[in-house]
């Protein structure tokens, strides 16, 4: 996989919330997990239903990792250790309080950011954005670290990665602060039952509303089809998301539903 040119964006879905994003001459991973289960206990917990779309050994050299929060389906102990052994120079961008977890696993290149803070690396700028979620890998560590989304910007291109979130009123403010975006990667799964999941996970319809709040002309759905975390069928979220996108009168060709391992590229000549 070659590095993308500075004025293009290449997005490959590995699965769940893990993407390989290539932009600004850098290779970027989001919420990397290659393990078979999203769990602290071997052989227990949600099992991967679909193999990673990119085998770990086939990854290009990784320059940047964007970590949204510490839940097991987003922050994977084994994958952290494998990535640090393979790409020790990669810089990890994490929300406040999460750096110590990585340090204990040998990661040295860490940038912690609070909501609305920005940092630069090479040709890209990375912004930390609010999310409506929670954190904690044990009952006694709940909400001791922050959770967030991420914006990645080059001179010509801007990408939004929502992390894990419920629908909240800050999406429009994110667009004002960090936009205009070319593409938004938004979660559409793990929403049932609503009485329990509504504060922390969007429905597909809410994800489409978030894309519109962000002013993003292209929508990549994520957080579905990899782990069975909640009550809805695995294949329901994208069907509902596409129906909602089309019902809003948005161009179907800009609804980028990726298969595991599929790559979609926004070329240098294409407009927002």
CATH of the domain at 132: 3.60.15.10
List Cβ neighbours of 141 (8 Å cut-off, separation of 6 or more): 135
pLDDT attached to residue 2: 62
- Residue 81 falls within a domain, yes or no? yes
Largest separation between any pair of C-alpha atoms in the chain: 51
Residue 263: which pLDDT band, with cuts at 50, 70 and 90? Answer: very high
What pLDDT is stored for residue 272 in this prediction?
Answer: 75
The domain containing residue 33 runs over which residues? Answer: 9-266
**4 found inside a domain:** no
Strand ordering across the sheet containing 263-266: 110-113, 91-95, 64-66, 26-30, 18-23, 9-15, 263-266
Rounded to an integer, what distance in angstroms lies between the CA atom of residue 8 and that of residue 1? 14
For residue 124, the model assigns a pLDDT of 95
| pLDDT, position 5 | 67
Can you tell me the distance from the alpha carbon of 170 to that of 218, in angstroms, rounded to the nearest whole number? 19
Residue 272 covered by a domain:
no
Instruction: Tell me, yes or no, whether 3 lies in a domain.
Output: no
Quote the pTM value.
0.97
Quick: pLDDT tens for 183-220.
999 999 999 999 999 999 999 999 999 999 999 999 99
Is residue 1's pLDDT more than 60? Answer: no
Question: Rounded to 10 degrees, what is the CA torsion of 183, 237, 188, 100?
Answer: -120
Tokens 């949600």 sit on residue: 46
What total of structural domains would you count in the chain? Answer: 1
Residue 96: inside a domain, yes or no?
yes
**CA 46, 48, 49 angle in degrees (round to 5)?**
110
Residue 181, in any domain of the structure: yes
Helix axes 236-247, 204-214, angle to 10 degrees: 50
Place of tokens 């250790």: 81
Q: Burial, 88: exposed, middle or buried (Cβ in 10 Å; 0-12, 13-18, 19+)?
A: exposed
Does 215 fall in a domain? yes
* 143 domain-assigned: yes
What is the C-alpha to C-alpha distance for residues 168 and 180, in angstroms, rounded to an integer? 19
Burial 147-186 (b: 16+ CB within 10 A, else e): bbbbbbbbeebbbbbbbbbbbbebbeebbeebbebbbbbb
């Amino acid at each position: 996989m070659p590095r993308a040119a500075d004025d293009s964006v290449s997005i490959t879905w590995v699965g769940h919330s893990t993407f390989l994003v290539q932009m600004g001459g850098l290779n970027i991973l989001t919420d990397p997990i290659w393990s078979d289960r999203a769990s602290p206990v071997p052989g227990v917990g949600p099992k991967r239903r679909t193999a990673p779309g990119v085998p770990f050994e086939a990854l290009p050299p990784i320059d940047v990792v964007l970590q949204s929060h510490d839940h097991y389906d987003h922050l994977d102990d084994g994958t952290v250790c494998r990535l640090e052994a393979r790409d020790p120079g990669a810089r990890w961008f994490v929300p406040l309080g999460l750096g110590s977890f990585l340090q204990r696993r040998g990661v040295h290149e860490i940038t912690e950011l609070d909501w609305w803070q920005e940092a630069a690396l090479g040709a890209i700028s990375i912004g930390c954005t609010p999310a409506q979620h929670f954190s904690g890998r044990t009952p006694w560590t709940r909400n001791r670290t922050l959770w967030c989304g991420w914006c990645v910007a080059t001179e010509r291109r801007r990408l939004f990665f929502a992390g894990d979130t419920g629908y909240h009123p800050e999406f429009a403010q994110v667009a004002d602060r960090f936009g205009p975006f070319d593409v938004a990667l938004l979660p559409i799964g793990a929403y049932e039952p609503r009485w329990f999941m509504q504060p922390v996970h969007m429905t597909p319809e809410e994800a489409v509303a978030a894309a519109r709040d962000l002013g993003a002309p292209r929508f990549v759905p994520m957080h579905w089809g990899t782990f069975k975390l909640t009550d809805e069928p695995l294949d329901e979220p994208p069907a509902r998301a596409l129906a909602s996108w089309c019902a809003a009168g948005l161009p179907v060709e800009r609804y980028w539903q990726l298969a595991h391992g599929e790559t979609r590229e926004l070329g240098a000549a294409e407009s927002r």
